[in-house]
């Protein structure tokens, strides 16, 4: 923030708010340059822990213990990555299955509900929306404790369906809210036109509304996937054996056994971070493009 | 962003439609879209029309039913179950025999008189308040900073979101390494600049562990605060700043007299959400310290877990869970109120 100080200089009467000056003026360009430098420093500071994770993952175990630690990997090696693929590969696959399952289950329930709440007039629409909002505030540990007991009775502990169902709980209300907000903006004439052509509600949903709502559905799907992929609490509470071990739990167990195997642990963390990276790129490009072209393609 | 798409869809959908009078209605609604106040009315009117025609039919419930059943089975039932669990005898044997009887509020009494409770409540309060104050403060400063125009600001702003998008286990691991006494970067930097001569035991010292966990949670929370506050800042009409400038208001004056009042609903939402999410925090603490050393980082959430799955005292764990839920519920109502206010604006 320091190099941005000239902007906040109170004696400069041209700028009173956090709005940049018109680009082009030489002084403005200097200010913009200083802001860019400051922004790079801020981003650098925020991402410093991640830089350190990458550096450590490329070190050997001995190098990771060395004092003073070197700020770049002295002899970059991918040994930790191949080791982790070997030991954690199965857990990554498990998490992938669970995350895909939870995403599909969530959308299967959320899309029709969002359509109904956006298109039809229910007397309970207000209360349903309120309940959906409130669900997001329930502490995960409350569900974790209850699910453990309930799932034990119905034999869903240590199972893929159990974790898929548990991981989809927070996603279903979230998806409904996100997709409904988008669907409300769609022109109702489209659905009516579809009905004139003889389509049922289901036909209108599948042939008209879903294709048009693709950006919102995609966004909901990505966040559901990310939630289920990263879930730790349900993995921890709803497994009692090694039958189904998702990535987060596997890394936690690994941490418990080999506390200071930092290169391996960081390589595992980076594998676990891949979906977040993909999401970030999509947020930057894909989703925005998807939103811009959704109507055209639909 | 969303509205733009809807507009596109409307243009494309409107043309081939055979319904008489449609172009007229589309034009009316476009005009309405320009006036946000009227838009809600237009939406209501549109729905009402649909209702009158009876197009929806009784089968429209079929679309909503799965979600209602789902929320009842996987939220309502577990919540009730949790409350009932907190009222039952919590001994392991009783639970194994499925013969655990109701014991009234005895689990709550045990939890509240538990000698660990004061520590846990104090930790949770410090964790929540410390996290929110700095997440919000730094997040607001960054949101203001990134509202300025300069090259690459969009890209750099989205890079700051990374810590927030990462799975909790990943952020936990990365920060555990950062604060590791020997392999960690924090001690390395501090000793490089000559501030310390012996490594600091960030996570195993009972006096430092909570501070370290709060620092870690601040790092995770900054992006979320920045994201929402930045969004709010973009919605402030430029004319307000113009007017403040004409009136000769300085930068600080403009901030307190224009930015803060206009942002108040957004600030309320950010703070309430921040409170609810911080109270729920679990992954990061379990990975960093597991609630230790000697309960020095034990929070309500991790304590409920430890009581239930560590001591197999599910009744007491459920009691703590129910108390957390009540705190969250009070906040949720505040959240909904500010959310609704947000919609009305």
Note the pLDDT tens digit of each residue in B184-212. 889 888 988 888 888 889 998 889 999 99
Chain B residues with CB under 8 Å of A278 CB are: none
Q: Which of B74, B147, B158 sits opposite A169 (nearest CB)?
A: B74
- Nearest-CA distance A76 → chain B (Å): 17
Contacts of A296 in chain B (CB under 8 A): 8, 12
* Partners of residue B168 in chain A, C-beta under 8 Å: 230, 232, 248
Q: Give the number of other CB atoms < 10 A from CB of residue A49.
A: 20
Nearest to A145 among B57, B176, B321 (CB): B321
* A283: phi then psi, degrees, rounded to nearest 5: -60, -40
Are A145 and B318 a contacting pair at CB < 8 A? yes
Q: Is the previous residue joined to B293 through a cis bond, with omega within 30 degrees of 0? A: yes
For residue B337, is it within any domain? no
Three-class secondary structure of residue B102 per DSSP: strand
**Using CA atoms, how far apart are residues A276 and B280, in angstroms rounded to an integer?**
21
C-alpha to C-alpha distances, B3 to A184, B9, B46, B303, nearest whole angstrom: 10, 10, 17, 45
Pairwise CB contact (< 8 Å): B183 & A1: no
pTM for this one? Answer: 0.81
Instruction: DSSP for B189-243, please give it.
Output: HHHHTTS-SS---TTT-TTTHHHHHHHHHHHHHHHHHHHHHHHHHHTS-HHHHHH
Position B261 in a domain: yes
Q: Give B132-194 as a DSSP string.
A: HHHHHHHHHHHHHHTTS--TTHHHHHHHHTHHHHS-HHHHHHHHHHHT-TTT-HHHHHHHHTT
Query: Which residues neighbour B58 within 8 Å (Cβ) at sequence distance 6 or greater?
Result: none
Say which of A109, A190, A236 has its CB closest to residue B67. A109
pLDDT by 10s per residue, chain B, length 345: 333 333 333 333 332 333 333 333 333 444 444 444 555 566 655 554 554 444 445 677 889 999 999 999 999 999 999 999 999 876 555 555 555 577 778 889 888 888 999 999 999 999 999 999 999 999 999 999 998 888 888 889 889 989 988 999 999 999 999 999 888 889 888 988 888 888 889 998 889 999 999 999 999 999 999 999 998 998 888 888 888 888 888 888 888 888 998 898 889 889 988 998 999 999 999 999 998 899 999 999 999 999 999 988 898 999 999 999 999 888 878 766 666 655 554
Residue B73 lies in a domain: no
Confirm or reject contact between B272 and chain A (CB < 8 A).
Answer: no
Question: Across-strand partners of B102?
Answer: B88
- CB-based contact A226 B165, cutoff 8 Å: yes
Residue B123 and residue B43 share a domain: no
Which chain B residue shows the shortest CA-CA distance from A204?
B56
Structural domains counted in chain B: 2
- Please answer yes or no on whether A295 and B5 come within 8 Å at the CB atom: yes
Q: What is the pLDDT of residues B84-140, one digit of tens each?
A: 999 987 655 555 555 557 777 888 988 888 899 999 999 999 999 999 999 999 999
Kindly state whether residue B91 falls inside one of the protein's structural domains: no
B130 and B29, same structural domain?
Answer: no
Regarding whether B135 and B32 lie in a shared domain, the answer is no
Q: Which residues of B touch A56 (CB under 8 A)?
A: 177, 183
State the residue range of the domain holding B19.
Answer: 2-56
B140 interfaces chain A, CB cutoff of 8 Å: no
Shared domain for B151 and B278, answered yes or no, is yes
Identify whether residues B123 and B261 lie together within a single domain.
Answer: yes
Residue B148 inside a domain? The answer is yes
Query: What's the CATH number where B145 sits?
Result: 1.10.3720.10
Per the domain annotation, does B110 fall within a domain? no
Which residue among A50, A185, A190 places its CB closest to the CB of B174? A50
Mean pLDDT, chain A, whole residue set: 83
Give the one of B79, B159, B259 whose C-beta lies nearest to A43's C-beta.
B159
Would residue B226 count as lying in a domain?
yes
Where exactly are the structural domains of chain A? 2-57, 79-297
Do residue B228 and residue B122 come from a single domain?
A: yes
pLDDT of residue B331: 81
Q: Is B168–A248 a contact, with Cβ atoms under 8 angstroms apart?
A: yes
Q: Do the Cβ atoms of B156 and A43 come within 8 Å?
A: yes
In a domain, B336, yes or no: no
Q: What is the pLDDT of residues B269-282, one digit of tens each?
A: 899 889 989 999 99
Which class is A79-297 in CATH?
A: mainly alpha
Q: Which residue of A has its CA nearest to B78?
A: A146
């Amino acid at each position: 923030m320091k190099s941005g100080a000239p902007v906040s200089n109170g004696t400069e009467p041209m700028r009173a708010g956090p709005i940049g000056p018109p680009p082009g003026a030489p002084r403005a360009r200097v200010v913009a340059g200083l802001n860019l430098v400051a922004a790079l420093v801020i981003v650098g500071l925020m991402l410093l822990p991640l830089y350190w994770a990458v550096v450590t993952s490329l070190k050997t175990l001995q190098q990771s213990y060395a004092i003073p630690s070197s700020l770049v990997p002295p002899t970059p090696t991918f040994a930790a990555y191949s080791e982790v693929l070997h030991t954690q590969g199965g857990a990554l696959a498990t998490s992938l299955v669970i995350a895909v399952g939870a995403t599909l289950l969530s959308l299967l329930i959320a899309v029709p509900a969002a359509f109904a709440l956006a298109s039809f007039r229910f007397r309970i629409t207000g209360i349903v929306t309120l309940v959906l909002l409130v669900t997001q505030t329930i502490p995960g540990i409350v569900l974790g404790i209850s699910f453990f007991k309930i799932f034990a009775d119905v034999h869903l502990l240590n199972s893929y369906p159990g974790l898929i169902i548990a991981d989809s709980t927070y996603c279903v209300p979230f998806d409904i809210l996100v997709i409904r907000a988008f669907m409300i903006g769609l022109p109702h004439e489209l659905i009516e036109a579809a009905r004139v052509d003889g389509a049922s509600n289901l036909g209108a949903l599948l042939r008209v509304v879903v294709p048009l709502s693709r950006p919102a559905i995609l966004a909901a799907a990505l966040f559901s996937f990310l939630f289920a992929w990263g879930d730790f609490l349900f993995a921890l509470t709803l497994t009692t054996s090694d039958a189904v071990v998702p990535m987060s739990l596997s890394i936690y167990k690994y941490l418990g056994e080999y506390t200071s195997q930092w290169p391996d642990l960081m390589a595992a963390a980076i594998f676990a971070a891949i979906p977040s990276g993909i999401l970030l790129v999509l947020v930057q490009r894909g989703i925005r493009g998807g939103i811009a072209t959704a109507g055209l393609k639909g | 962003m969303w509205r733009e798409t809807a507009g596109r869809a409307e243009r494309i959908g409107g043309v081939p439609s055979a319904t008489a009078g449609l172009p007229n209605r589309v034009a009316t609604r476009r005009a309405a879209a320009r006036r946000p106040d009227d838009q809600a009315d237009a939406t209501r009117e549109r729905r009402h029309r649909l209702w009158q025609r009876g197009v929806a039919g009784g089968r429209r419930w079929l679309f909503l039913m799965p979600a209602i059943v789902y929320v009842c089975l996987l939220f309502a039932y577990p919540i009730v179950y949790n409350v009932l669990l907190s009222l039952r005898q919590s001994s392991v044997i009783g639970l194994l025999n499925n013969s655990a009887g109701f014991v009234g509020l005895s689990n709550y009494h045990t939890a509240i008189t538990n000698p660990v409770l004061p520590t846990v409540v104090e930790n949770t309060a410090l964790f929540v308040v410390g996290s929110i104050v700095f997440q919000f403060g730094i997040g607001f400063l960054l949101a203001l900073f990134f509202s300025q125009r300069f090259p690459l600001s969009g890209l750099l702003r989205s890079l700051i979101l990374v810590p927030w998008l990462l799975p909790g286990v990943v952020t936990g691991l990365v920060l555990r390494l950062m604060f590791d006494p020997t392999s960690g970067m924090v001690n390395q930097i501090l000793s490089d600049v000559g501030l310390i001569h012996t490594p600091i035991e960030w996570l195993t010292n009972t006096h430092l562990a909570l501070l370290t966990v709060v620092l870690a949670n601040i790092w995770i929370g900054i992006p979320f605060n920045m994201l929402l506050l930045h969004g709010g800042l973009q919605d402030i009409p430029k004319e307000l700043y113009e007017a403040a400038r004409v009136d000769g208001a300085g930068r600080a004056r403009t901030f307190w007299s224009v930015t803060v009042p206009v942002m108040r609903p957004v600030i309320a939402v950010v703070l309430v959400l921040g409170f609810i999410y911080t109270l729920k925090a679990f992954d990061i603490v379990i990975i960093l310290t597991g609630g230790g050393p000697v309960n020095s980082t034990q929070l309500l959430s991790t304590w409920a877990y430890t009581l239930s799955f560590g001591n197999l005292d599910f009744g007491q764990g459920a009691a703590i869970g129910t108390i957390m839920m009540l705190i969250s519920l009070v906040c949720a109502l505040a959240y909904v109120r500010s959310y609704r206010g947000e919609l009305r604006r």
